Amino acid sequence: MSDLLHVYALCVLVLCLKMFAISAYQGVFRLRLKAFTNPEDARFFDRATHGEELPQVTRAAKAWRNDLENIPLFFVLGGLCVALETSNVATRGMFCAFVIARVLHTLAYLARWQPWRTVAYGGGVACLFGLGGMLIWRLA
């Protein structure tokens, strides 16, 4: 396995685990506070159905949706960088920086830290543009 593929695989794994952690975060709040919006869940736990989600669950869902707007682009661009063998050092740096930015974005989103959430988001987007630029350079 190439070094770049190894780093890419580790980054994909970390991002998948991070997204799983957001889902678990939502579940912990629902279970701890026994607040369920789905009637079948409320019935299973012998609770009344809640009309609205808990604020923590809603916030985590928004962070998760933001991941869905960014992480699939990383999967595609990163996979193409590995397949087309873009610059090893620069690509590895972009991969790692993207993962760090997305983890920080999630933490900042859940903790309501501004401007750090925006800074982390911008860093991740810059990495995506950087990966895209390297692909354009490689294909030209």
DSSP 34: T
Element (H, E) at 7: helix 3-33
- Structure confidence by residue, pLDDT tens digits, 107-131: 999 999 999 999 999 999 999 999 9
- Structure confidence by residue, pLDDT tens digits, 45-102: 888 898 899 999 999 999 999 999 999 999 999 999 999 999 999 999 999 999 999 9
- Structure confidence by residue, pLDDT tens digits, 31-42: 998 889 888 988
Q: Which SS3 state, helix, strand or coil, does residue 1 take?
A: coil
Amino acid 128: pLDDT: 98
Look at residues 16, 23, 15 and name the one whose alpha carbon lies nearest to residue 103: 15
User: In terms of residue numbers, what domain contains 11?
Assistant: 3-139
For residue 99, give the CATH number of its domain. Answer: 1.20.120.550
pTM here?
Answer: 0.92
Our count of domains for the chain comes to: 1
The arithmetic mean of pLDDT across residues 14-20, rounded, is 98
pLDDT at 18 over 80: yes
